[in-house]
Structure formats: structure tokens, C-alpha cells
Structure 1
Amino acid sequence: MLKGIDPILNADVLYALRSMGHGDDLIVCDTNFPAESVARQTVLGRLLRIDASAPRVVRAILSVMPLDSFVEHPAMRMEVVGKPDEIPAVQAEVQAEIDRAEGRSWPMGSIERFAFYDLAKKSFCVVQTGECRFYGCFVLKKGVIPPEAE
């Protein structure tokens, strides 16, 4: 346990978050996503896991990682096949965590399922959650932390 660090953030995930740079993508995926095979193709090259729901994992990640304010959609959700505008409960819950972390409404973008897979392979890393609900897959783009005023 570390003071001020969400206890579900394990050492491997913290290492990856610290290693990422501005504009790098992190994938948060559900239990049905082909996480192991996709993760092997990422910059990190191995799968990370946090056994918790997708909203809980996003809350933990965003407690230490800023979202990229230089892009329109620093967070994206996988679209429901055949119903791209549908927002399943898991996605609404993750949206609420993003808004809470950012202190404002910041709607996610969306990405078609196979385009999501392609993007995931080019990402920095994949964090597989314990989320069993369908479409619990998200992209989070890392932002910057400004220097402290002296």
C-alpha cells in the first residue's frame, strides 16, 4: 500500500502509467476482449490486469493520469456493433468516472469495433479488467501535468 495511491493500482500498472508519455494510448478492456494477443503487439508488449469493474479501474487510473487536453476525444469507447449511438450501462458508468476525474462533462468519442482492435495493437499498453459486461472497452490518451509554480 502507498499513501495517496489507489490500492487497486498494482506495481505493473503504475510502472506502465509512469512510462507513458503525452499522447500515448492506454486500453482498458473487458474479459471478452482478445487482450493477451493484442497486448503482445503494444509498446509494453505484455498484458496488465486489474480485477475490478471497468468504471472502478478507470477511476483508479484517472486518479494519477491526466487525459490529453489537446485532442477532442482523449477517451473513447468501443461502439456497439450495428448500434453505434447506443450507450450501454458500463459505458455510461465510465463516462461518469471521466467527468468526476476531470471536474466537468467531457464526452467520450466512439470507435468501431475492428478499428478499436487496430488502435489497441498500436497502443502503449492494455489493462484487462474483471468487467464481464459487453462493450466495456475504452481508450484513454495520456495528457500532461504542468510544472508547479515556484
Structure 2
Amino acid sequence: MLKGISPLLSPELLKILAEMGHGDEIVFGDANFPAVSMAQRLVRADGHGIPELLEAVLELFPLNHYVTHPVMLMQVVPGDPVETPVWDVYRGLVDKVEEGIDFAEIERSEFYERAKKAYAVIATGEKALYGNVILSKGVIG
């Protein structure tokens, strides 16, 4: 056990966060996301929602300032009437650690292609539809 690190962050996830380099991306997949078929490295976080995992990770994880959008969301498919209030939660969590970060909304198939190339995918129990998010790792100055 370590002080100051959320117990939501498993040793496996901490190792992956530490291994990641500048520009590497990590995907937080909701419960419907095809994480197993997408992941080069898969971390299981079943039973946990993305907001609480994101809050814990953002305490340790620098966001990438060398890209326009270090936080990427899966865009709602045109015509789908789904609301995405969880996105406002994500924005609030990011703003707590760093204000002014721009989010991108990426078309579904493009999001999947990006996820296949990501350093790791975290499979969560998040039930919010379109709850998926990608973070791009920055540098510590």
C-alpha cells in the first residue's frame, strides 16, 4: 500500500501509467466498449465507473500540451437521441487539475481505430452511453 495513491489504481494500471511516454494514449472504455478486441494492453477495472478512475488517474497523469485535444470523446452517432451528461463530469474533473483543456469529439469508427493503436485500454463498468474517453500523455517539466 502506498500513501496518496487512490486504491482504485491497481498495480497493473500504475505500471502502465508509468511506462507510458509523451504522446502515448490510454483509453477508458465504458461497459459496452469492445476493450478486449481493441487493446494492445488491457487493464480490467470492472465495477468501477470512468469518473472515479479518471479522477484518480488525473492526479498522476500529465495531459499533453503539444496536441490540440489531449482529451478525446466518442462522438454520438448522428440521429442517436442519447444525452451525454457524463461528458460534463469529465470536463469538471479535468478542469480540477488543469483549466482550459480542449476536448475533441471523434467519430465512432475513428475512435475505434485510435483505440487499437493506444498504449492501453482500461475496461470499466461505466454504464453511461458514449462514456468512452482517450487521454494523451504529456510531459512533466
Provide TM-score, normalisation by structure 1.
0.87
Alignment of 1:31-70 (within 5 A): 31-39=31-39, 42=40, 44=41, 47-50=42-45, 51-70=47-66
Deviation at 1:38, TM superposition (A): 0.6
User: 2:14 is matched with which residue?
Assistant: 14
Deviation at 1:141, TM superposition (A): 0.2
Provide TM-score, normalisation by structure 2.
0.93
**Identity across matched positions, percent:** 41
The reply on whether 1:141 has 2:105 as its aligned counterpart is: no
Q: Which one-letter code corresponds to 1:34 in the other structure?
A: P
CA distance in structure 1 between the aligned counterparts of 2:97 and 2:55, rounded to whole angstroms: 7
- Structure 1 stretches of 5 or more lacking a match? none
Equivalent residue in structure 2 for 1:130, among 125, 128, 137: 125
Output one character per residue of 1:83-127: Cα deviation in whole Å (capped at 9) or x when no partner: 69x86111111111111121x132311100010000000000001
User: 1:78 is matched with which residue?
Assistant: 74
Output one character per residue of 1:4-49: Cα deviation in whole Å (capped at 9) or x when no partner: 111100001001001100000000110000011111xx2x3xx202
- Number of equivalenced pairs: 139
**Kept after mapping to 2: 8 A contact 1:59/1:101:** no
CA distance in structure 2 between the aligned counterparts of 1:87 and 1:109, rounded to whole angstroms: 17
**Kept after mapping to 2: 8 A contact 1:24/1:142:** yes
What RMSD over aligned residues (CA atoms) do the two structures have, in Å? 1.6
Residues 77 and 59 of structure 1: is their aligned pair in 2 closer, same or farther, counting only changes over 3 Å?
A: same
- Structure 2 stretches of 5 or more lacking a match? none
| Runs of 4 or more above 4 Å deviation | none
